[in-house]
Amino acid sequence: MSIFKRFFTKEQKQTLDKGLEKSKSSFFDKVSKALIGKSKVDDDVLDDLENILVASDVGVETTVKIIKRIEERVAKDKYATTSELDRILREEIAALLSENSTPAQNFDLPAQTKPYVLMVVGVNGVGKTTTIGKLAAQYKAAGKKVVLGAADTFRAAAVEQLITWGNRVGVPVVSKGMGVHPATVAFDAVDFAMKEEADIVIIDTAGRLHNKINLMNELSKIKKVIQKHLPDAPHEVMLVLDGSTGQNAFFQAQEFTKATQVTSLAITKLDGTAKGGVVIGISDQFKIPVKYIGVGEKVEDLQIFDKYEFVDSFFSIQNA
């Protein structure tokens, strides 16, 4: 039974449980082996747990924080059994995530901001364009008027994929084809969204990290031309990361946060990996809210990130 208050529907929770199955199975297999023959949480148990957290792609810095919190709990309580360890872990990881995330929410938008400009960044292959398509579908299902901007003009596949998503979802896509400067597409997309009185315009951008200076200049140019329409735009810059890449996702987050001001994160492909711990580490180390996680192929499998439900699902194998 969950120790946290439920916000998800039963179907959403089942999807999340299934999506994190590989991560939690791998994690608890390692924990179970480390705890064989041990009854209390001592230095040896904590050393083993530290190694397991690092191996689960939580990251060294975040792992050290978690272990320190558990040490303090054990010292305060004087004695803690290994059977209590999963509960302590749940509570401390949830507390850590609470420090670096916003409350879970539905697909709402600020009433005073129209159109809401969401610029999406991320390297090729992380599921960036697919994430945009799924967001468009869910915003439309929530009654919002959506416009997409195909500003990843360096890859024909990206433009075509976004147009395909637009047709599938039934939302307009502003596209100028290949070779056009991304800023031009972004400018036209915002212009179109304003004329159509859209609620949100989501702009896809190129994902190239081989030259950080070019990336920085490109994203800066996109921001400047958007601000000719709306001085306070973009209202959100979302970085999409592939959770299955583990520590490589940390590297991408480092590079993109240097290149532009990232304000939210979407972490995809968690259903196909045992590296779900990367969500915890990235949230902690970059102090940027994780807004969405991808736990399957279907549109609704891009879920709003709820830190409590995430931690509950990650540890629910103990209650199966």
Rounded distance between C-alpha atoms, residue 159 and residue 181, angstroms: 13
Rounded distance between C-alpha atoms, residue 102 and residue 109, angstroms: 14
Rounded distance between C-alpha atoms, residue 151 and residue 221, angstroms: 12
Look at residues 153, 97, 117, 314 and name the one whose alpha carbon lies nearest to residue 232.
117
160-216 pLDDT, tens digit per residue, is 999 999 999 999 999 998 888 999 999 999 999 999 999 999 999 977 665 667 778
Sheet holding 146-151, edge to edge: 173-174, 146-151, 200-205, 116-121, 236-242, 264-268, 290-294, 302-304
Can you state the angle between helices 21-35 and 85-98, rounded to 10 degrees? 130
Q: What is the overall mean pLDDT for the chain? A: 87
228-251 pLDDT, tens digit per residue, is 999 999 999 999 999 999 888 998
Look at residue 19 in the predicted model and tell me its pLDDT: 87
87-139 pLDDT, tens digit per residue, is 888 888 888 888 776 665 678 888 889 999 999 999 888 999 999 999 999 99
247-280 pLDDT, tens digit per residue, is 889 988 988 888 889 999 999 999 888 888 899 9
Written as six digits, the tokens of 108 are 């709402």
Rounded distance between C-alpha atoms, residue 58 and residue 63, angstroms: 6
Mean pLDDT, residues 30-46: 85
Bridge partners of 118, per DSSP, are 202, 236
Look at residue 318 in the predicted model and tell me its pLDDT: 44
Q: Which three-class secondary structure state does DSSP give residue 112?
A: coil
Rounded distance between C-alpha atoms, residue 77 and residue 80, angstroms: 7
Written as six digits, the tokens of 227 are 């601000």
Q: Which three-class secondary structure state does DSSP give residue 174?
A: strand
Tell me how far the alpha carbon of residue 51 is from its chain's centroid: 24
42-60 pLDDT, tens digit per residue, is 889 899 999 999 988 899 9
Rounded distance between C-alpha atoms, residue 11 and residue 239, angstroms: 27
CA dihedral sign, ordered 3, 37, 44, 74? positive
Look at residues 181, 235, 158, 281 and name the one whose alpha carbon lies nearest to residue 173.
158
* Residue the block writes with tokens 């599921």: 127
For 257-289, b/e burial (b = at least 16 CB within 10 A) is bebbebbbbbbbbbbbbbbbbbbbbbbbbbebb
In this structure, which amino acid lies at residue 217? N
Tell me how far the alpha carbon of residue 296 is from its chain's centroid: 13
Look at residues 303, 320, 268 and name the one whose alpha carbon lies nearest to residue 104.
303
The number of residues making up the chain comes to 320
Look at residue 101 in the predicted model and tell me its pLDDT: 66
